[in-house]
A and B are shown apart, each in its own frame.
Chain A
């Protein structure tokens, strides 16, 4: 980019300027969701002020482990949150239809309008930004362009979301967005992008707009022009974050892993896997769902709801005669190969964005990057 354009595209906010930014969004009547520390983790919830953010907290993540510890005074000094944005984009549960039946058995069916109030997603990491793009292709408006069907609730919430991305300064030990080409630097898909500079001598926020709406929001906030020092500082954040990640998936490995569906290694993984479904719950792109119907006691009204589902449950593949994937090995294989390999054929990208949540939140600490590597090695030996 032209250095002058890059300079003029960035503004710098003080801590009170950042507070003013949040206040202005709240005052516009938007629901602001951002990172908060709760129940020993950092996850997304309602915020109305800088005071709600997890100041000075840093996450220590490892396979099967997550702890918080005190760090500097930064507001965004952590990596992947415990939960992704999925709970807000695909609310659990979602009402699909509402129906009533009169005494003469006449049925009326209506589709409720999606609930999608204007919302701010504050603190979106690059991996989660990529995950939204992945979901757009699977169930959102982009999916609608592909096959004419999109999820109205997801799409409406996505359209109503004002996205404030915050670049990761300190990836955790389970992060591997660099190898998935999804981070650590947000490159597109945001309204505003923030770099937090938290040093002894200054605590500031270098911000650029990625949309006209973002420009408009930024215009009303007191800020100063960015300097070349500021840009050097954010470049340093990128480089340090990228260099700190040690895990990864080699782009050549997923298709190799898919070529050995009956390797004994799948059974070895299954001996550790609890089939608990944690990985699918925390994954920002796992979109599988099920439905259930309810009635009132009189049987005159009925509702049909959608809730999240996991390919790790036995019932997930139930057909007449039993479940297709009735072993843990077959279910883990489905999850892993769908995520890293078949997704390409289905939606044109990987389903994995490298957030590392499935590694952190797996009770026995099964590491997707490690398993893909080992499976690819088996394929190379057999090949």
Chain B
């Protein structure tokens, strides 16, 4: 429960709101996180926030952080060489190993692309499954990881994007990500879908995937709830019987649908 001191070794501004930090342990580090897990990042004197793993490069952890409050703003302001605290890895990530040769359909909305980034890298590296990536954002500026999307497309990933509101010069799709689910090419009878984004988007995406014929237990959602401790002790992140911090954040649609259906659960 005590953070280990880490150092920012690289920093990349993704957008006005989002910064990616590359972080390495100064002394002892944590066990390597799995795709879909998260770490607690601690800013000296300010506080802690749960941040999804955006990638691993050797001993370096990547975390993309959106400026929403005091902690995330100070984390986003950290510069190369600055120190911070980190503990983890926490939570149950995506099921992505030993899942056979079926298709992988990844549906991401906005910042929801962060937790699936290491998953897509892992799927591309193993090269065993057809990967379809469907990404939605509010605006073209909200589409993260442009370089990665080019890289994944070059590796054979079917990358489709859409925005809610186009801006001048945008020549791509305009509409909800569910529209991409409806027309994407994949074999629904042998697919595992990975969904991350705003809760309302995930619900509609999951319904669209079920409509396409994907089995509910094969649709995985990464839920967001208020997490303070990350070990199931503080109680904040509960949804029904689950502590999202340890039983999730990834919870399959057959288990999450009855809970998400209840207003303000």
| Interface, chain A (partner B; CB < 8 A) | 96-97, 99, 101, 105-111, 138-139, 143, 147, 149, 151-152, 261-262, 287-295, 299, 302, 304, 309, 311, 316-321, 324-327, 329-330, 333-334, 338, 342, 345-346
| A338–B238 touching, CB < 8 Å | yes
- Which interface residue of B82, B229, B246 has the most chain A CB atoms within 10 A? B229
| B243–A309 touching, CB < 8 Å | no
A338 to B237 Cα, complex, angstroms: 12
A109 to B243 Cα, complex, angstroms: 27
12 A-B pairs besides A291-B47, A333-B265 with CB distance below 8 A are A99-B44, A101-B45, A101-B83, A107-B83, A109-B2, A111-B2, A291-B229, A293-B48, A304-B48, A316-B226, A330-B263, A334-B265
Residue among B4, B226, B243 making CB contact with A317, cutoff 8 Å: B226
| A147–B231 touching, CB < 8 Å | yes
Interface status of B240 (Cβ within 8 A of chain A): yes
A74 to B240 Cα, complex, angstroms: 45
Whether A309 touches B2, Cβ cut-off 8 Å, given contacts A101-B44, A342-B240, is no
Return chain A residues, CB-CB under 8 Å to B262.
261-262
Residue among B231, B241, B265 making CB contact with A149, cutoff 8 Å: B231
| A289–B264 touching, CB < 8 Å | no
Return chain B residues, CB-CB under 8 Å to A311.
235
- Could you tell me which residues of chain B, from 111 to 146, have a CB within 8 Å of some CB in chain A? none
Whether A327 touches B228, Cβ cut-off 8 Å, given contacts A291-B48, A345-B241, is no
Return chain A residues, CB-CB under 8 Å to B241.
342, 345-346
Interface status of B233 (Cβ within 8 A of chain A): yes
| A289–B226 touching, CB < 8 Å | no
Nearest chain A CB to B90's CB is how many angstroms away? 10
Residue among B231, B234, B235, B264 making CB contact with A325, cutoff 8 Å: B264
Whether A151 touches B44, Cβ cut-off 8 Å, given contacts A319-B226, A324-B225, is no
A113 to B111 Cα, complex, angstroms: 39
Return chain A residues, CB-CB under 8 Å to B83.
101, 105-107
Residue among B224, B232, B234, B264 making CB contact with A326, cutoff 8 Å: B264
| A309–B3 touching, CB < 8 Å | no
Nearest chain A CB to B245's CB is how many angstroms away? 11
Residue of B nearest to A316 (CB): B236
A111 to B66 Cα, complex, angstroms: 29
Nearest chain B CB to A334's CB is how many angstroms away? 7
The 6 closest A-B pairs by CB, nearest first: A288-B235, A330-B264, A295-B45, A302-B45, A345-B241, A111-B2
Nearest chain A CB to B108's CB is how many angstroms away? 16
| B224–A319 touching, CB < 8 Å | yes
- Could you tell me which residues of chain B, from 229 to 263, have a CB within 8 Å of some CB in chain A? 229, 231-236, 238, 240-241, 243, 246, 262-263
| A309–B47 touching, CB < 8 Å | no
Interface status of B215 (Cβ within 8 A of chain A): no
Residue of B nearest to A149 (CB): B231
Residue of A nearest to B258 (CB): A261
Return chain A residues, CB-CB under 8 Å to B224.
319-320
Residue among B84, B238, B243 making CB contact with A334, cutoff 8 Å: B238
Residue of B nearest to A139 (CB): B233
A321 to B224 Cα, complex, angstroms: 11
Residue of A nearest to B46 (CB): A293
Interface residue tally on B, bucketed by range: 35 or more
Residue of B nearest to A294 (CB): B45
Residue of A nearest to B2 (CB): A111
Nearest chain A CB to B13's CB is how many angstroms away? 19
| A302–B44 touching, CB < 8 Å | yes
| B46–A109 touching, CB < 8 Å | no
Interface status of B102 (Cβ within 8 A of chain A): no
A325 to B246 Cα, complex, angstroms: 20
| A290–B234 touching, CB < 8 Å | yes
| B233–A149 touching, CB < 8 Å | yes
Return chain A residues, CB-CB under 8 Å to B208.
none
10 CB < 8 A contacts A-B: A106-B83, A107-B85, A111-B2, A139-B233, A287-B235, A291-B48, A316-B226, A318-B226, A319-B224, A342-B241
Residue-wise, chain B 161-180 has the 8 Å CB interface mask toward A (1 for contact) of 00000000000000000000
Residue among A99, A111, A149, A324 making CB contact with B264, cutoff 8 Å: A324
Nearest chain A CB to B238's CB is how many angstroms away? 7
Residue of A nearest to B84 (CB): A107
Residue of B nearest to A346 (CB): B241
Residue-wise, chain B 77-113 has the 8 Å CB interface mask toward A (1 for contact) of 0000111110000000000000000000000000000
A324 to B240 Cα, complex, angstroms: 13
| B2–A97 touching, CB < 8 Å | yes
Nearest chain B CB to A336's CB is how many angstroms away? 13
A292 to B71 Cα, complex, angstroms: 11
A132 to B75 Cα, complex, angstroms: 39
Residue among A151, A152, A289 making CB contact with B235, cutoff 8 Å: A289
| B1–A319 touching, CB < 8 Å | no
Whether A289 touches B233, Cβ cut-off 8 Å, given contacts A327-B264, A330-B263, A338-B238, is yes
Nearest chain B CB to A327's CB is how many angstroms away? 6
Whether A149 touches B232, Cβ cut-off 8 Å, given contacts A96-B1, A105-B82, is yes
Return chain B residues, CB-CB under 8 Å to A143.
232-233
Residue of B nearest to A107 (CB): B83
Return chain B residues, CB-CB under 8 Å to A317.
225-226, 236
Interface status of B5 (Cβ within 8 A of chain A): yes
- Could you tell me which residues of chain B, from 174 to 204, have a CB within 8 Å of some CB in chain A? 198
A320 to B52 Cα, complex, angstroms: 14
Whether A293 touches B231, Cβ cut-off 8 Å, given contacts A99-B85, A107-B85, A109-B2, is no
Nearest chain A CB to B43's CB is how many angstroms away? 8
| B238–A292 touching, CB < 8 Å | no
Return chain A residues, CB-CB under 8 Å to B44.
99, 101, 107, 295, 302
A107 to B68 Cα, complex, angstroms: 25
